[in-house]
Amino acid sequence: MERWQNKVAVVTGASSGIGAAIVKDLVAAGVQVIGLARRQEKIEEIIAGLPQEKRSLLTALKCDVSNLESVNKAFDEIITKFGGVDILVNNAGCIKTGQMVSMDPQLIQSVLQTNVMGVVYCTQRAFKSLKERNVNGHVVLINSICGHKVIAGPPDSAPVSNIYTPSKYAITAITEIYRQEFYGLGTKTKVTSISPGVVDTEILSDEHRKWIEDRILSPHDISNAVLYTLSTPPHVQIHEMIIKPVGELF
């Protein structure tokens, strides 16, 4: 991680779960981190829990990645204060339970706005910063095993994940599009998709917790993977990483 010392990383969805684990581990590695989330106060709590000498390495900004105006406001502030973005971790995501055949289309749209367009909005701004400064960075997309396989859920029940799985399939395709675009536009910026299995986060329902029992990953398992991909030599690109707990059913 030496090459990223004092560089700037932006992590979306940083208020809890995987995002909170990532910001903590990046700060511990000496990276200047800006955590974006709608619940800015939760990131402030993370800052307060850091060792005193590390607190200046984490900045909390309020941002709704599904809203382009909100994203632009946050990135404008980041670039003004820190000069640019070197690492972007697209972690923010959401799921709305229900069946696509009957649920409110606006809820379906909200998932697409966060899980797909949020990635597009933030990556555009990060890549623009990298390109303008003629530096090579790293874009990480927190995907899901649902981006590789349609998982119905518990047996003998109608699935409730609806558009979530298609949104993650989109991230799998977007990762390859970015790889080709980054190279085709004359940069050596890396892109990595990390696809976890079941992770112990707020997004996991009580019903699914009972079903999966102890076959579950920790948010820090995913954060460790992010730091591993960032620590690879400049010529090595981890394009896709799938992480499952031992004994996972999927």
Contacts of 213 (CB under 8 A, 6+ apart): none
Residue 239 CA, chain-centre distance (Å), reads 15
> Helix 118-133 to helix 164-184 angle, to the nearest 10 degrees?
20
Contacts of 233 (CB under 8 A, 6+ apart): none
* Catalytic residue IDs: 164
H or E segment and range at residue 239: none
Distance between CA atoms of residues 224 and 234, nearest Å: 19
Q: Which residue carries 């941002």 as its tokens?
A: 63
- Beta carbons of 195 and 148 less than 8 angstroms apart: yes
Distance between CA atoms of residues 191 and 178, nearest Å: 7
